[in-house]
Amino acid sequence: MPHPFKLLLSASLLAVAAPIGTTPAIAQEMSEETQTRTYSAEEFYTSTSYGSVGGNAHAFSPDGDHVLITSDASGVLNAYWLPIDGGEPMQLTNSTTDAYRATSGFPTDGRILFSADAGGNERNHVFVREEDGSIRDLTPGEETRAGFAGWNEDGTHFYIETNERDASVSDVYRYSATDYSRELVFENPGGYFLGSRSPDGRYQLLTSVRTNSDSDIYLVDLEGDRTPVHITPHEGDVSHGDQGFTADGSKVIYSTNEFGEFAQSWTYEIATGERELLAEDDWDVSYVGFSDSGRYRITSFNRDGTSDAVLYDTVRGREITLEGVPEGNMGAFRFSPDEGMVLFSANTDTSPTDLYISNLETGETRRLTSALNPAIDESDLVNSSVLRFASYDGVEIPGILYRPHGASADSPAPAVVWVHGGPGGQSRRGYNPAIQHLVNHGYAVYAINNRGSSGYGKTFFHMDDQRHGDADLRDVTASADYLQGLDWIADDRIAIAGGSYGGYMTAAALAFHPEVFDAGINIFGVTNWVRTLESIPAWWGPQRDALYDELGDPATDGERLRAISPLFHADNITSPMLVVQGANDPRVLQVESDELVEAIRANGVPVEYVLFPDEGHGFARRENRITASEAYVTFLDEHVGAE
């Protein structure tokens, strides 16, 4: 079960984008051997991303005829009303630069709330769009970082979290839905992450992270003395996570790994303090949620890199089977006001996330969107499989393997080991346009879940603590050895790639194990841990201490951090590298990549540098995703491609 800080160096590096209904006239090549079409990055990224609103938000319009979504149909993320009868989406915001993400509709009219930062600086503000199209920033301030935090039960007020008082913590304000006047309802004393509020707004949950393996949940009575009450006392190291409240607000729902390797969901009754097991599995219980009345419960499990969701009718005491849904990842369930319909998302390896709506009485399901570019034949894409191998010390390492069409012992494919962000992220099954683009161009991809990855139990999760750039990196190099043993892999043409922490692992592999990989793609990767950890923004607050516990404190562990930083060992790099960087990245500063590129060039080693002046830690713009993805293939074709 990952902690907040374990994913701080992750990035949403990969997305899809395109104008709705647009099919570019781009020539498609045909492989004579496999009869599989080869597509350009533009064609892959002409697929469209769709996402519904999250959390305690109003997803449906007051009349129930539309749902509020975020889509990059214009090339940049914007907010839309999507008719549930299958009509064309109506664009509500018109950003051509920064990503505008819909966060909630209003319960009685057509206004919406959305969030946006500036140029990828991660200082999000919350905006309201009025019915006449005018926009107002509800959280002004150049250094302010804010986020929408739900509605009260009667829809008269909504909540926003903001760090305007103290950059290192976030407080909670209640805003009037009528005139946007506000009042402070909880002043964070520091040391806590804000969490869920009960449906009636009385109780606030807080999370306290002591170390990367020990965290707790606190309950605050906003109508009482507002003193945080510890509700998860325990002995030893136990991780707890906020999963909200039951629909009537009488119980807290929280996750814990106290009783085994995987996270279970438990309830805590506020009036009595009694606890009860709610959900468990042989994998992590990643989410539990209810419809407003409490009739329907959704439980999601992270099963070997796939999100398996179960919808349960508590009145009839049975699971509900939704017809016509592809097998894959399901999530983002949102119920209509009368609870007769449920909106949700689903995706597979070969199909991007689409939105569906189901009738809860009949189970009849309608697909509302078609994300995949119609110019792409889905049969030309590939399904993944989960592959495990014994690492250097015998530990079993899982990963997601993509085998190109036509790859065989007679025609072996070059390979790419793809490393996720985190460090405690997880490579998961599901649609990934950058990976499908690589596979479509003949590259096998192994998306590794090295030790330290989430989703495989707490022991596995903590195997890399204070051993980054060593234990986890040796899993990555061992995966190359394993791939070389597959007869359909070209064992002399294996590259490594990754974003954020995965970018660090790419640079580290080429610096510390220069004989293993033939090339590397470093996307927004850390190169100097001392500088990165010293430059953590104030608004990370208690996350900084948790990250220091995970990786090391630069004030006391500087020698070890320098020892695992590729920049200080760049003279060892002998394989070509592609470096991708956003100029506005607040997590991995541009200087990290500038200096690494300069050092590699001093070695006389081929290095290519793609710098995006309008991106932060990830890609917000379709044209930049296309440029980056084409750069990956061009670079690999030159250095590890078909001979």
pLDDT in tens, 124-179: 999 999 999 999 999 999 999 999 999 998 999 999 999 999 988 899 999 999 99
The pLDDT, as a whole number, for residue 36 is 86
The pLDDT, as a whole number, for residue 539 is 64
540: pLDDT strictly greater than 50: yes
Q: What are phi and psi of 350, to 5 degrees?
A: -105, 5
pLDDT tens digit sequence for 590-600: 999 999 999 99
492: pLDDT strictly greater than 70: yes
Distance from C-alpha of 625 to C-alpha of 623, rounded to nearest angstrom: 5
Distances (CA, A) of 373 to 48, 85, 87, 507, 554: 7, 21, 18, 34, 47
610: pLDDT strictly greater than 50: yes
299: pLDDT strictly greater than 60: yes
Confidence of residue 541 (pLDDT cuts 50, 70, 90): low
The pLDDT, as a whole number, for residue 20 is 32
Distance from C-alpha of 580 to C-alpha of 183, rounded to nearest angstrom: 43
Class of domain 380-639: alpha beta
Estimate the crossing angle of helix 471-484 against helix 501-512, to 10 degrees.
Answer: 70
pLDDT tens digit sequence for 367-397: 999 999 999 999 999 999 999 999 999 999 9
Distance from C-alpha of 461 to C-alpha of 393, rounded to nearest angstrom: 16
580: pLDDT strictly greater than 50: yes
The pairing of strands 146-151 and 135-137 is unpaired
The pairing of strands 306-313 and 318-319 is antiparallel
Q: Which of 445, 439, 134, 457 is nearest to 284 (CA)?
A: 457
Asked if residue 636 lies in contact with residue 438, where contact means CB atoms within 8 angstroms, the answer is yes
33: pLDDT strictly greater than 60: no
The pLDDT, as a whole number, for residue 29 is 42
The pLDDT, as a whole number, for residue 618 is 84
> What DSSP element (H or E) covers 355?
strand 351-359
Provide the b/e sequence for 328-339 (b: ≥16 CB within 10 Å).
bbbbbbbbbeee
Confidence of residue 27 (pLDDT cuts 50, 70, 90): very low
Provide the b/e sequence for 371-392 (b: ≥16 CB within 10 Å).
bbbebbeeebbbebeebebebe
Confidence of residue 13 (pLDDT cuts 50, 70, 90): very low
The pLDDT, as a whole number, for residue 230 is 97
Examine domains 48-187 and 380-639 and report if their fold is the same: no
Quick one: CA torsion of 346, 347, 351, 353, rounded to 10 degrees? 70
One DSSP character per residue, 78-127 reads EEEEEETTS---EE----SSS--EEEEE-SSSS-EEEEE-STT----EEE
Omega within 30 of 0 (cis) for the link into 423: yes
Helical ranges in 185-302 per DSSP H: none
The pLDDT, as a whole number, for residue 191 is 86
Q: Which of 406-410, 471-475, 581-585 has the lowest mean pLDDT?
A: 581-585
Distance from C-alpha of 456 to C-alpha of 388, rounded to nearest angstrom: 12
Distances (CA, A) of 268 to 110, 271, 284, 639: 37, 9, 19, 57
Distance from C-alpha of 71 to C-alpha of 327, rounded to nearest angstrom: 23
pLDDT tens digit sequence for 254-284: 999 999 999 999 999 999 999 999 999 999 9
Domain regions of the chain by residue span? 48-187, 380-639
Confidence of residue 643 (pLDDT cuts 50, 70, 90): low
| Residue labelled with tokens 């201490």 | 545
The pLDDT, as a whole number, for residue 397 is 98
pLDDT tens digit sequence for 622-639: 899 999 999 999 999 999
pLDDT tens digit sequence for 425-446: 999 999 999 999 999 999 999 9
CB atoms under 10 Å from CB of 239, counted, come to: 24
Asked if residue 351 lies in contact with residue 378, where contact means CB atoms within 8 angstroms, the answer is yes
Q: Where are the beta strands (DSSP E) in 201-324?
A: 203-211, 214-221, 229-230, 240-245, 251-256, 264-269, 275-279, 284-290, 296-303, 306-313, 318-319
The pLDDT, as a whole number, for residue 21 is 33
Number of Cα atoms under 13 Å in the Cβ half of residue 241? 20
The pLDDT, as a whole number, for residue 609 is 97
Distance from C-alpha of 175 to C-alpha of 201, rounded to nearest angstrom: 12
Please list, in sequence order, all residues whose beta carbon lies within 8 angstroms of the beta carbon of residue 225, skipping any fewer than 6 positions away.
none
Chain mean pLDDT for the chain: 91
Confidence of residue 25 (pLDDT cuts 50, 70, 90): very low
Asked if residue 370 lies in contact with residue 71, where contact means CB atoms within 8 angstroms, the answer is no
Confidence of residue 19 (pLDDT cuts 50, 70, 90): very low
17: pLDDT strictly greater than 50: no
Distance from C-alpha of 232 to C-alpha of 207, rounded to nearest angstrom: 10
The CATH number of the domain covering residues in 48-187: 2.120.10.30
The pLDDT, as a whole number, for residue 620 is 78
Helical ranges in 496-557 per DSSP H: 501-512, 529-534, 542-551
